[in-house]
Amino acid sequence: MLHEVEVLRRFAPPRLGRFVVPALLLLLILFPFVVNAAFYVHLMILVFLFAYLGQAWNILGGYTGQVSLGHAVFLGLGAYTSTLLFEWYGVSPWIGMIAGGLVAMAFGLIIGLPTFRLQGHYFAIATIAVGESVLALFNSWDLVGGASGIYRTIVPESWWAMQFHSSKDPYYFIALGLVVTIFTVTRLIERSRLGYYFRAIKEDPDAAKSLGIDTTRYKLYSMMISAFFTGLAGTLYVQYLLFIDPEMVFLLMLSIQICLVPVLGGVGTLWGPAVGAAILIPISEFTRGYLGGSAAGLDLVVYGALIMLVAAYKPAGIMGLLRKAS
Amino acid sequence: MLRRILVLSLLFLLGISLAACGGTDQAGGDEGAGTPETIKVGAIYPVTGALAATGTDLTNGVKLAVEIVNGEFPDLNLPLAAEAGLPNLGGAKVEIVWGDHQGSAEKGMSEAERLITQEKVVALLGCYNSAVTATASQVAERNGVPFLNPESTSPTLTQRGFKWFFRTTPHDDTFAKNFFQFLEDLKATKGIEVESLAIVYENTLWGSDVGKFEKKYAEEFGYKVVEDLAYPAKGTDVTSEVQRLKAANPQVVMQASYVSDAILYMRTYKEFGFLPEAILAMDAGFVAAEYLKTLGEDGYYILSREVWALDLAESKPIIAEVNDMFRERFGYNMDGNSARAFTGTLVLLDAINRAGSTDPEAIRQALLETDIPADQLIMPWEGVKFDPETQQNTKGKGIIVQVQDGKYLTVWPWELASADLIWPMPGWDER
pLDDT tens digits, one per residue of B224-272: 999 999 887 777 889 999 999 999 999 999 998 888 889 999 999 999 9
Determine, for residues B6 and A46 on separate chains, whether the beta-carbon distance falls below 8 Å.
Answer: no
What is the total count of domains within chain A? 2
pLDDT tens digits, one per residue of B343-380: 999 999 999 999 999 999 999 999 999 999 999 999 99
Least CB-CB distance to A297: which of B5, B48, B97?
Answer: B48
Give which of A28, A2, A73, A3 is closest to A226, Cα–Cα.
A73
Q: CB contacts < 8 Å between A and B, how many?
A: 145
Determine, for residues B1 and A23 on separate chains, whether the beta-carbon distance falls below 8 Å.
Answer: no
pLDDT value at residue B8: 66
pLDDT value at residue A296: 60
B residues 144..203 contacting A (CB < 8 A): 154, 156, 160
Please check whether residues A4 and A108 belong to one and the same domain: no
pLDDT value at residue B230: 86
Determine, for residues A40 and B20 on separate chains, whether the beta-carbon distance falls below 8 Å.
Answer: yes
Could you give the residue range(s) of every CATH 3.40.50.2300 domain in chain B? 23-170+315-384, 173-306+399-430
Percent of chain B's residues with pLDDT above 90: 58
How many CB atoms are located within 10 Å of the residue B215 CB? Answer: 18
Contact B410, B401 (CB under 8 A): yes
Determine, for residues A292 and B138 on separate chains, whether the beta-carbon distance falls below 8 Å.
Answer: no
Mean pLDDT of B87-112: 90
**Which of A2-16, B101-115, B330-344, B371-385 comes out lowest in average pLDDT?**
A2-16
Please check whether residues A154 and A69 belong to one and the same domain: yes
Mean pLDDT of A52-69: 93
Boundaries of domain holding A99: 41-252
Least CB-CB distance to A326: which of B4, B138, B154?
Answer: B4
Determine, for residues B48 and A245 on separate chains, whether the beta-carbon distance falls below 8 Å.
Answer: no
Determine, for residues A42 and B110 on separate chains, whether the beta-carbon distance falls below 8 Å.
Answer: yes
Please check whether residues A6 and A77 belong to one and the same domain: no
Q: Above 70 in pLDDT, residue A138?
A: yes
User: What residues in A contact B44, CB-CB < 8 Å?
Assistant: none
- What CATH architecture applies to the domain B23-170+315-384? 3-Layer(aba) Sandwich (3.40)
A307 domain-assigned: no
pLDDT value at residue B29: 39
pLDDT tens digits, one per residue of A168-216: 899 999 999 999 999 999 999 999 999 999 999 998 888 998 988 898 8
pLDDT band per the 50, 70, 90 thresholds, residue B7: low
Q: Does domain B173-306+399-430 have CATH number 1.10.287.110?
A: no
Closest residue in A to B140 (Cα–Cα): A165
Residue A45 or A298, more confident: A45
Please check whether residues A89 and A168 belong to one and the same domain: yes
A90 domain-assigned: yes
Alpha helices in B104-221 (DSSP H): 105-117, 130-143, 172-185, 205-221
pLDDT value at residue B303: 93
Q: Above 80 in pLDDT, residue A94?
A: yes
Least CB-CB distance to B105: which of A147, A241, A300?
Answer: A241
Chain A nearest CA to B69, separation (Å): 21
pLDDT band per the 50, 70, 90 thresholds, residue B289: confident
Q: Above 90 in pLDDT, residue A274?
A: yes
pLDDT value at residue B426: 92
Please check whether residues A196 and A227 belong to one and the same domain: yes
Mean pLDDT of A107-129: 88
Spatial distance between the Cα atoms of B356 and B89, rounded to a whole number of angstroms: 5
Please check whether residues A71 and A162 belong to one and the same domain: yes
Residue B247 or B205, more confident: B247
Please check whether residues A97 and A14 belong to one and the same domain: no
Determine, for residues A242 and B135 on separate chains, whether the beta-carbon distance falls below 8 Å.
Answer: yes
Contact B59, B326 (CB under 8 A): no
pLDDT band per the 50, 70, 90 thresholds, residue B17: low
Contact B111, B100 (CB under 8 A): yes
pLDDT value at residue A245: 87
A115 domain-assigned: yes
pLDDT tens digits, one per residue of A251-261: 888 998 899 89
Classify strands B252-256 and B278-281 as parallel, antiparallel or unpaired: parallel
Please check whether residues A119 and A198 belong to one and the same domain: yes
Closest residue in A to B133 (Cα–Cα): A243
Please check whether residues A28 and A46 belong to one and the same domain: no
pLDDT band per the 50, 70, 90 thresholds, residue B9: low
pLDDT tens digits, one per residue of A163-173: 888 888 999 99
Please check whether residues A16 and A115 belong to one and the same domain: no
**Which of A41-45, A148-152, B20-24 comes out lowest in average pLDDT?**
B20-24
SS3 B76: coil
A102 domain-assigned: yes
pLDDT value at residue B392: 95
Least CB-CB distance to A292: which of B3, B100, B208?
Answer: B100
pLDDT value at residue A189: 94
Contact B265, B245 (CB under 8 A): no
